[in-house]
Amino acid sequence: MPSVIEPKLISGNANLPLAKAIARRMSLYRGMSVGLVDARVERFNDAEIFVEVFENVRGEDMFVIQPTSNPANDNLMELLVMADALRRSSAARITAVIPYFGYARQDRRTKARTPITAKLVANMIASSGIERVLTMDLHAAQIQGFFDIPVDNLYASPIFALDIQSQLKGQLDDVMVVSPDVGGVARARELAKRIGAPLAIVDKRREKPGEIAEMTVIGDVAGKQCFIVDDICDTAGTLCKAAEVLKDHGATEVHAYITHGVMSGPAVERITNSVMKSLVITDSIECSDAARAAPNIRVLPTAPMFAQAILNIWNGTSVSSLFETETLGPIYEGIL
């Protein structure tokens, strides 16, 4: 078998702009051109997915960039079919780069006779020939344990911390980090620790899914610039309601930092008309035109982090080093 010379990237249709951005960053880091492997990922008339790789990948270290965002089933199937094509083409190793892991919210049985779909998807990915997964901000930490292959879970909080420090330029005295629910406290605490800010919680109670009966603020947010931190913004109902409650409790400004901007249905309209001064999301999911045009929505790039993580995996060096500001800061210098 020939020795592996360079990591090779291939992308499905879920987020081509991110895949191209990762390739550009890798080119910058390596001082040589890194492009996407020439391939076609198409659909037949009956919507069956077909993949053809036009370059030799025998013995190569392949990285498949494909978030499983909306449409989740199509994008997941593209990932599996690409992995099968690469495995049958004798690729040495296949790593799935999944910036947004779909079905992550189905990580446990919430009531009788319901599935744990995140585990099912993990089984499908492992059985397709994928040997490693690189993702960002899994909805639940235990999903890493659903896989029987190595999983590297990156975190957006270091990027958020760098952006907040850049935006406020050291004026962090009145900042308060807010978790929009009890389940997200660990994520919010991590960001609060990085920027040296106190932590508050918005405790929500639901009568039934999709409806919020009551919200209570735990912590004194009066006179504070509040930064809500969460992993997913879907319809934005909870987020906008939490912003209103914080303003009612005396917050001077409300901002939100969300890793994955799913932005379903009326989300963009709600955010545009909300009391939030800004919503910051990453490009783990391709941003819609409406979201990009919204005056109070901003997108942070994840390509620098993913490019470095891919190179670290290829080199066999630490991925967790990217959790540290000292390591990540130079990578984002001049970007944020």
Annotated binding residues, written as ranges, equal 46-48, 105-106, 139, 181, 206, 230, 234-238
Enzyme catalytic residues: 204
Virtual torsion, Cα 7, 13, 14, 18, nearest 10 deg: 50
User: Minimal CA–CA distance to 146: which of 110, 108, 93, 111?
Assistant: 108
What tokens appear for 230 in the block? 């969460």
- The binding site for D-ribose 5-phosphate consists of 206, 230, 234-238
Virtual torsion, Cα 294, 274, 69, 130, nearest 10 deg: 100
For the chain, first and last CA: distance in Å?
Answer: 43
- Greatest alpha-carbon pair distance for the chain in Å reads 65
- The binding site for Mg(2+) consists of 139, 181
d(CA 4, CA 287): 34
What tokens appear for 105 in the block? 């919210």
SS3 at position 254: strand
What is the CA 88 to chain-centroid distance, rounded? 29
- The binding site for ATP consists of 46-48, 105-106
